[in-house]
Amino acid sequence: MKRLIEISNGKRFATDWKQRRLVKVLHLKSFLLLVLVAFIAQDCAEVPLTNRHGLRLVPESELLTLSFQQYDQVLKKSQLSSDQGKTHMVRTVGERVARSAEAFLRESGHEDAVESYHWEFNLIEDDKTVNAWCMPGGKVAVYTGILPYTQGETGLAVVLGHEIAHALAEHGNERMSQALLANMGGMALSVALSQKPSETKDLYMAVFGAGVTVGALLPYSRLHESEADRIGLMLMARAGYDPRESIPFWERMSKASKAKVPEFLSTHPAPESRIENIKNYLPEALPYYQKRR
């Protein structure tokens, strides 16, 4: 009898092991198929202005659903600013840059992407947090701690133009795709959310520069930063803000980093070459600003 039980347990273990292995194989095949489809789709998915193709494995519908959910959760956990003047400034500048972004997308042959954006701008009362971010779908948060560095509407347009540029270039999808590969064994977003919901949501927030809410921040690559700087200058210039003001803003941020690295610089590294690169982008952006004057 004991021998029969051992054999039975052994068969059951073997069966369970085979089932687990089959599930893993199916997940792997599904993921490889997803990767193949994503690489094929890259011929149509390119970054506006630079025309660079990037890795985008996450379906837009899933990304937007999670974006809207997480944004609502951040607002529920945060204290919105009661300063009507500052809140009005954030929303006014944000809406101007957003309209500029939509016009830019249409003129650059990405008019279909405009429907994906449901713009919302909120100012969060937190003087200790020097940060701002934009999630897919145009959900934007600005923390009051960054306002002393923006020093008015034009400086704020630098920040919002840069953050919205990240969204337009779909840097978030690239970063989330890379993060799923590196941290979740290549799971699809929907699978990761069902199996590891908490870890996946924390990873998502860190990827989009909103990780201050979960105690984690992931920096953008120099490539993404350079693209966001260039596109952001175009957006703010087209919105009627002087793109030359981006230089003193980054100089102020650079000085601030000598005492303590703000959250904004943790996610947006600012090498010394950044200002020089921005100077090289200005001749491209200035004509748009001059047309608005």
Residue with tokens 């600003």: 289
User: Which tens digits make up the pLDDT trace of 37-73?
Assistant: 444 344 346 888 888 888 888 899 999 999 999 999 9
* Domain that includes residue 238, residue range: 60-292
Specify whether 103 is located in the same domain as 189. Answer: yes
Residue 155 belongs to some domain of the structure: yes
> pLDDT-derived band of residue 25, with 50, 70 and 90 as boundaries?
very low
pLDDT of residue 45: 66
Specify whether 222 is located in the same domain as 271. Answer: yes
Specify whether 92 is located in the same domain as 17. Answer: no
Cβ partners under 8 Å of residue 258, min gap 6:
none
Specify whether 65 is located in the same domain as 168. Answer: yes
The three-point CA angle 223-112-141 to 5° equals 55
> pLDDT-derived band of residue 211, with 50, 70 and 90 as boundaries?
low
Cβ partners under 8 Å of residue 25, min gap 6:
none
In the set 6, 46, 120, 163, the catalytic residue is 163
Distance CA 198, CA 172 (A): 19
Q: What is the pTM of this model?
A: 0.80
Distance CA 258, CA 252 (A): 10
User: Which tens digits make up the pLDDT trace of 103-128?
Assistant: 999 999 989 999 999 999 999 999 99
Work out the number of other CB atoms within 10 angstroms of the CB of residue 152. 11
Specify whether 33 is located in the same domain as 101. Answer: no
Specify whether 101 is located in the same domain as 212. Answer: yes
Residues 135 and 66: beta-carbon distance below 8 Å: no
Burial class (CB in 10 A: 0-12, 13-18, 19+), 197: exposed
Weakest mean pLDDT among 9-23, 113-127, 159-173 = 9-23
Cβ partners under 8 Å of residue 67, min gap 6:
135, 136, 137, 139, 208
> pLDDT-derived band of residue 23, with 50, 70 and 90 as boundaries?
very low
Instruction: Count the domains in the chain.
Output: 2
Question: C-alpha distances in angstroms, 143 versus 131, 160, 171, 213, 236?
Answer: 6, 12, 21, 12, 19
Specify whether 89 is located in the same domain as 210. Answer: yes
Residue 251 falls in the annotated catalytic set: no
246-259 vs 273-292: helix crossing angle, rounded to 10: 150
Distance CA 231, CA 78 (A): 30
Q: Where are the beta strands (DSSP E) in 68-131?
A: 120-124
Q: Which of helix, strand or coil describes residue 140?
A: strand
Residue 53 belongs to some domain of the structure: no
Cβ partners under 8 Å of residue 62, min gap 6:
189, 190
The three-point CA angle 171-266-268 to 5° equals 40
Q: Does the pLDDT of residue 2 top 60, yes or no? A: no
